[in-house]
């Protein structure tokens, strides 16, 4: 168990949140009053005269709110059940930031704003870089209730309204969450409820074959439920099988008895060896709709992940192109999903690579509700060792996502039991910004970063801003410029291995040789561009017009290819890597000159030391890789190892 | 726990060993009588008239024996304490094999013939491909005594006289073996003692810092030992520290009270992050001698592993060459080791790669007792999925090892809890042959393989012989011909990844580029050849004279280099890989036509199916790798993927 003093010193943002909640709250309105009182009492704002808040609950407003400023720092917050809490945080933020209050009704762009935790009941976090799970250990729940309460406040303060508490790779260890552990799930939900945060559970599609009713109901009051079948596990998970459908309906009833406001289920099916409907010759709409039907009576939603591809591809097969996989699978199913199904689609067609175009599933499914899935956990973006701030990247992504059918947003959590919650003290920016973008995806990145800096109370705003604003483009330069993907160490996904994935079964190739690099994904190549609407396709189709940062994602080009700025492709590769490394050195110098709280400084500087080593390794390995292949020296005569 | 019937059906060799020992034996002589009786009673030999054995114990003969045949199948076995048992097995084998008995005194070449088990107390086996540990589980001992008795018989039947029971990577989990678990170690030793098999323990050099006397002596009778210091762990493991020296002396006394005939300690120090004397600025002789001094009063020996190199090498550094590391470290210490120290040296200078020249440590330390270490576990040679019989390889190795100071031999065990003991039913050949080579390292490989086939009772001798005899050269062809090393998947060490290790810190590079491949290790290059005696050095120094199989181990050459047979280097690489794959297909066909016992057949055919896939993968990946780099097509127009 973590030391309270230790984590209390590290609020993700907003130092006033250090003050623990005095009492057990029962509603967002109570939470709002409590936060307003804390804030008024604190010096955090440094605003001189204490503000005075008054609250008008208007259930019809739901998650929305309206802020009005009266005379003498009086603020009236009118809002719906959770809107009133969101409005309170907005008011507090604006006071601290010395911004004027927003005009009119404030409503979130996406109704489902979910943080997906890849936490396993045994306490590990898949792709977690901030320590062990905040709530799991040893196969069950284990947490500090005060810290979970703090978590609820942090999530609510940026408008996140759903927390999926377990890994999408829901294996045997996750099954008790919809069985024996339901009373524990219910207790956990109770802590987060006053902050407007509902739980979601990742479920194993094959659960009916492993979870027997009798065994799983221990400790539950189930006398009100009549069961239509025996207590033994089923021999199938076929979504069209009547027993299976009945099993899930009963299961949902039991689950909702324990957690009446559960948001629903999240399912990773037929993906990377997870079970799914394909086993039974059923399509993904049939699989999803079966679960959605079970959830519908309780208002639950079924979130179905679209991260499906052939993970046993033969590298010799150049016809199969992994980025095409999800669209090929889901586009024919557009319009076939039930009302309460949301298809959750990663932002890019691959897997959270440093640079990917937006997934064509997101732009091509006009009759399907969708969630866009972002990854706050820095799996491919530096493991929360290297600085990588996401808002500038997200701006690019949301530019292409005007689709009305995107009703939800999910972010893979970067939280863990580290005292400072996110490993790198600056990594919490991405969680903060995720909430902000979930509310309004067209925000200016610089403004969001600045708000986080100021709310954190960092005194040297401009230095931290400079570091954060450039961090993602610097990282891209020293790792994977021009849309090159997958040159990471396999499995670990930190550090360079230009051909570590080249001959593997994951569909992850750069196909570099002594003359060329990249894959032709145009209409003349694998045809991937044809999955986009014309206005997007035409941006990428022609190598002469394709934006540099996507060039090698869409095109196979010789090293001597002339870029628009006159440089050759190989020279641009060398330049970017050298520059990325040099910029990292400059970032290190910049960081060392910034005054930060002592604990943040030590952590940030130690991580920056590792980032510099990592940047050097990437720069040298990738340059050597292409030099060994091409034999073309750097025009500027910098050292490339042979 | 394993099912007895199941493993009894799979003796490693010699079907007559299936019959369980009737009683608890107390000496090798009793074991000899018992085995002779079993054999006489069995039909295994199919020799018609029952043989009659008589025994003459002559302690002066030690491990040696003399066999004499009298009239009417009477055999007189004269031997020392364990020699009499070895002579019995020899007589039985010769009868089965219809060979005449050997003339004169039979004496093993190496006095210490050790099987090194990389078993961890928690039950895993590092680089084990035959299931979990035969004797460890859950942090302690857990075994079927009958199976351990069977193991003792198998080891004795080929003259193995020491079993190191735990992983050389002896971490915290191994410390109880010289502490709380000593009574269990003693019980285990009791089972193996009648077969002349003594135990050895891998110990953690830093043990004095972690193991307190008080805690570790639970259950031990230590009243006869006066301790010179307090019960708390020490704060150092410095081998020149008086408290440390005293700690180990006391510890040895306690250990030898429990196991009076313990062979000694095996130590991996200052190697791959294991602790060692370097931490304290002491050299390896000081480290080894300190432990040797503690063991000396009890007749124990200290085996010190020479597998030491910089495992944090920078790939940019072309001056440092890992194969040079051990000689550079140990040669200056030649003559500095105590009488009861044995330096255990892997056969090659790298790490059990498919083809390595003999380690220069073995040929260059005239005043140091040494053990040559072989690896029966198929870490780099196919994981006991791919067929790989070792006798032909060992013949090459021992050709260069006439050094009188090599007094011992160690083999990394390929055993585990699989019913058939070695995963692949044919993999037991390597254990059998290891014992045979430990007794006489100049044996003819074909003869050893034939003996194993016949003792196994395989009816189709020639088919199995053909498979086994060619297996290592076929494997070499489709994986790593010409002395290429390390093109395996990192960590796992199965399957190809030509640059998976290229930019890592392990000193494992091929430095291929668009023109050349290999590392110049001649006098003009890294100077590795200078570590050899002239007669060996001159064999490798000149690329025109260097044997093909070592060519790229010693030389950096252009793809257009002309081999002696007129082919270019690149063509030879292509040819070997294509041929290796084709030969694997022929082996598959050959195997399917051989009549084997049902359980062996199913296992062997399933593994062969995987081997064929593996061979195809190696062939295509390596050919594509070199084709992408060189751009030179196959002269024979075979398919190379691009």
**Is the per-residue pLDDT at A218 higher than 60?**
no
Give burial (CB, 10 Å; 0-12/13-18/19+) of A203. Answer: buried
Cβ contact B497–A496 (<8 Å): no
**Is the per-residue pLDDT at B231 higher than 90?**
no
Q: A217-226, A293-302, A564-573, B148-157: lowest mean pLDDT where?
A: A217-226
Q: What would the pLDDT profile of B13-41 be if each residue is shown by its tens digit?
A: 877 777 777 678 999 999 999 999 988 88
The residue of A493, A498, A513, A638 whose CB has the most chain B CBs within 10 angstroms, and thus the best one to mutate to test that interface, is A513
Smallest CA–CA distance from A504 into chain B, residue: B497
Closest approach of B323 to chain A, Cα-based (Å):
20
Interval A279-283 mean pLDDT? 97
Task: Give the C-alpha separation, B569 to B567, whole Å.
Answer: 6
CB < 8 Å to B620, chain A = 316
Closest approach of A498 to chain B, Cα-based (Å):
8
pLDDT of residue A129: 98
Catalytic residue among A35, A119, A351, A576: A351
Interval A331-336 mean pLDDT? 98
Residues of B with CB under 8 A from a CB of A: 315-316, 490-491, 496-500, 503, 511-515, 617, 620-621, 624-625, 627-631, 641-642
How confident is residue A20, by pLDDT bands cut at 50, 70 and 90?
confident
Please tell me which of the candidates B497, B513, B514 has its beta carbon nearest to residue A503.
Answer: B497
CB < 8 Å to A515, chain B = 631
pLDDT of residue A213: 54
CB < 8 Å to A512, chain B = 628
Interval A144-164 mean pLDDT? 96
Closest approach of B622 to chain A, Cα-based (Å):
10
- The pTM of this model reads 0.94
Please tell me which of the candidates A513, A625, A641 has its beta carbon nearest to residue B316.
Answer: A641
CB < 8 Å to B641, chain A = 315-316
Residue at token pair 């019995």: B88
> Do residues A619 and A581 lie in contact, with contact meaning Cβ atoms separated by under 8 Å?
yes
Give the ipTM of the model, two decimals please.
0.93
Closest approach of B516 to chain A, Cα-based (Å):
10
Catalytic residue status for A272:
yes
Interval A134-159 mean pLDDT? 96
pLDDT of residue B232: 76
Cβ contact B514–A631 (<8 Å): yes
Of chain A, the percentage scoring pLDDT greater than 90 comes to 87
Q: A110-119, A246-255, A402-411, B73-82: lowest mean pLDDT where?
A: A402-411
Task: Give the C-alpha separation, A596 to A424, whole Å.
Answer: 13
CB < 8 Å to A316, chain B = 620, 641
Segment (H or E) for B342: strand B341-346
Q: What would the pLDDT profile of A336-375 be if each residue is shown by its tens digit?
A: 999 999 999 999 999 999 999 999 999 999 999 999 999 9
Residues 6+ apart with CB under 8 A from A98: A47
Q: Which ranges in B113-205 belong to alpha helices (H)?
A: 145-157, 182-192
| Distances, alpha carbon B175 to alpha carbons A290, A402, B143, B208, in Å | 54, 62, 20, 10
Interval A60-79 mean pLDDT? 94
Sign of CA dihedral B470, B472, B473, B479: positive
Closest approach of B496 to chain A, Cα-based (Å):
8
Catalytic residue among B116, B204, B321, B351: B351
Q: What would the pLDDT profile of A449-493 be if each residue is shown by its tens digit?
A: 999 999 998 988 999 999 999 999 999 999 999 999 999 999 999
Smallest CA–CA distance from B488 into chain A, residue: A500
pLDDT of residue A24: 81
Q: Nearest Cα to B370, choosing from B400, B397, B334?
A: B334
pLDDT of residue A227: 45
CB < 8 Å to B514, chain A = 514, 628-631
Q: What would the pLDDT profile of B464-473 be if each residue is shown by its tens digit?
A: 999 999 999 9
Interval A538-564 mean pLDDT? 97
The pLDDT mean for chain A works out to 93
pLDDT of residue B2: 62
Interval A628-637 mean pLDDT? 98
Catalytic residue among A238, A379, A600, A603: A379
pLDDT of residue A194: 97
Residues 6+ apart with CB under 8 A from B501: B486, B487, B488, B490, B508, B509
Of B64 and B460, the one with more pLDDT: B64
Closest approach of A522 to chain B, Cα-based (Å):
19
Work out whether strand A52-57 and strand B162-164 pair parallel, antiparallel, or are unpaired: unpaired
> Do residues B482 and B549 lie in contact, with contact meaning Cβ atoms separated by under 8 Å?
yes
pLDDT of residue A2: 62
How confident is residue B43, by pLDDT bands cut at 50, 70 and 90?
low
Of chain B, the percentage scoring pLDDT greater than 70 comes to 95
Cβ contact B514–A512 (<8 Å): no
Tell me the count of A-B CB pairs closer than 8 A.
64
Please tell me which of the candidates B316, B490, B641 has its beta carbon nearest to residue A316.
Answer: B641
Cβ contact A514–B630 (<8 Å): yes
Please tell me which of the candidates A498, A627, A641 has its beta carbon nearest to residue B499.
Answer: A498
> Do residues B467 and B540 lie in contact, with contact meaning Cβ atoms separated by under 8 Å?
no
Interval A616-632 mean pLDDT? 98
Q: What would the pLDDT profile of A389-431 be if each residue is shown by its tens digit?
A: 999 999 999 988 876 689 999 999 999 999 999 999 999 999 9
Catalytic residue status for A379:
yes
CA atoms within 13 A on the CB side of B509: 25
Task: Give the C-alpha separation, B136 to B181, whole Å.
Answer: 12
pLDDT of residue A221: 43
Please tell me which of the candidates B499, B624, B629 has its beta carbon nearest to residue A514.
Answer: B629
Q: What would the pLDDT profile of B254-294 be if each residue is shown by its tens digit?
A: 999 999 999 999 999 999 999 999 999 999 999 999 999 99
How confident is residue B221, by pLDDT bands cut at 50, 70 and 90?
very low
Cβ contact B500–A497 (<8 Å): yes
Closest approach of A306 to chain B, Cα-based (Å):
30
The residue of B488, B513, B624 whose CB has the most chain A CBs within 10 angstroms, and thus the best one to mutate to test that interface, is B513
How confident is residue A22, by pLDDT bands cut at 50, 70 and 90?
low
**Is the per-residue pLDDT at A219 higher than 60?**
no
Catalytic residue status for B579:
no
Give burial (CB, 10 Å; 0-12/13-18/19+) of B109. Answer: middle
The residue of B320, B493, B500 whose CB has the most chain A CBs within 10 angstroms, and thus the best one to mutate to test that interface, is B500
Cβ contact A629–B628 (<8 Å): yes
**Is the per-residue pLDDT at A1 higher than 70?**
no
DSSP per-residue codes, B84-116: HHHHHHHHHHHHHHTPPPPPS-B--S-SEEEEE
Which DSSP letter does residue B37 get?
A: H
pLDDT of residue A507: 97
Please tell me which of the candidates A491, A514, A620 has its beta carbon nearest to residue B514.
Answer: A514
Interval B441-453 mean pLDDT? 96
pLDDT of residue A403: 65
Structure tokens at B473: 């050269």
């Amino acid at each position: 168990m973590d030391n309270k003093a230790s984590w209390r010193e590290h609020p993700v943002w907003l130092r006033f949140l250090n003050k623990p909640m005095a009492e057990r709250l029962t509603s967002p309105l109570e939470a709002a009053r409590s936060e307003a009182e804390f804030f008024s009492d604190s010096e955090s704002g440094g605003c001189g005269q204490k503000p005075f808040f008054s609250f008008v609950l208007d259930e019809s407003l739901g998650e929305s709110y309206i802020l009005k400023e009266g005379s003498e720092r009086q603020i009236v917050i009118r809002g719906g059940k959770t809107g009133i809490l969101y409005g309170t945080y907005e008011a507090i933020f604006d006071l601290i930031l010395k911004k004027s209050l927003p005009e009119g009704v404030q409503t979130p762009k996406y109704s489902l704003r979910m943080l997906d935790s890849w936490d396993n009941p045994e306490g590990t976090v898949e792709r977690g870089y901030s320590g062990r799970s905040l709530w799991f250990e040893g196969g069950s729940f284990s947490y500090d209730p005060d810290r979970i309460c703090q978590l609820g406040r942090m999530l609510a303060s940026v408008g996140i309204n759903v927390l999926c508490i377990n890994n999408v790779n829901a294996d045997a260890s996750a099954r008790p969450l919809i069985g024996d552990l339901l009373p524990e799930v219910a207790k956990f939900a109770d802590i987060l409820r006053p902050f407007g945060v509902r739980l979601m559970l990742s479920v194993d599609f094959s659960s009916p074959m492993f979870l027997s009713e009798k065994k799983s109901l221990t400790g539950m009051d189930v006398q009100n439920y009549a069961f239509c079948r025996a207590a033994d596990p089923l021999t199938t998970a076929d979504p069209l099988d009547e027993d299976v459908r009945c099993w899930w309906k009963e299961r949902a009833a039991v689950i909702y008895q324990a957690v009446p406001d559960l948001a629903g289920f999240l399912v990773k099916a037929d993906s990377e060896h997870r079970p799914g409907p394909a086993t039974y010759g059923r399509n993904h709409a049939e699989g999803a709709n079966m679960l959605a039907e079970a959830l519908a009576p309780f208002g639950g939603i079924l979130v179905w992940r679209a991260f499906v591809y052939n993970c046993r591809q033969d590298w010799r097969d150049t016809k199969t192109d992994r980025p095409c996989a999800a669209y090929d699978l889901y586009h024919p199913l557009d319009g076939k999903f039930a009302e309460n199904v949301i298809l959750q689609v990663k932002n890019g067609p691959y897997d959270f690579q440093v640079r990917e175009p937006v997934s064509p599933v997101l732009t091509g499914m006009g009759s399907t509700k969708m969630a866009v899935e972002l990854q706050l956990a820095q799996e491919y973006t530096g493991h929360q060792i290297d600085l990588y701030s996401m808002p500038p990247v997200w701006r690019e992504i949301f530019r292409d996502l005007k689709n009305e059918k995107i009703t939800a947003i999910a972010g893979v959590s970067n939280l863990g039991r580290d005292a400072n919650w996110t490993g790198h003290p600056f990594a919490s920016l991405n969680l903060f910004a995720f909430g902000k973008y979930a509310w309004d995806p067209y925000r200016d990145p610089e403004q969001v970063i600045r708000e986080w800096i100021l709310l954190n109370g960092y005194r040297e705003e401009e230095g931290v801003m400079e570091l954060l604003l450039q961090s993602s483009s610097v990282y891209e330069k020293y790792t994977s410029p021009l849309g090159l993907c997958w040159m990471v160490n396999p499995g670990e996904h930190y550090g360079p291995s230009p051909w570590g994935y080249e001959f593997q079964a994951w569909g992850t190739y750069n196909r570099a040789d002594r003359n060329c690099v990249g894959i032709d994904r145009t209409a003349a190549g694998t045809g991937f561009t044809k999955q986009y609407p014309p206005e997007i396709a035409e941006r990428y189709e022609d190598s002469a017009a394709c934006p540099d940062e996507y060039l090698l994602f869409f095109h196979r080009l010789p090293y001597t290819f002339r870029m628009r700025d006159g440089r050759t492709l190989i020279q641009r590769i060398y330049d970017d890597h050298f520059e990325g490394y040099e910029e990292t050195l400059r970032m290190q110098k910049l960081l060392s000159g910034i005054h930060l709280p002592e604990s943040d400084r030590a952590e940030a500087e130690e991580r920056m030391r590792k980032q510099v080593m990592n940047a050097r390794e990437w720069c040298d390995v990738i340059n050597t890789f292409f030099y060994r292949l091409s034999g073309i020296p750097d025009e500027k005569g910098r050292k490339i190892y042979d």
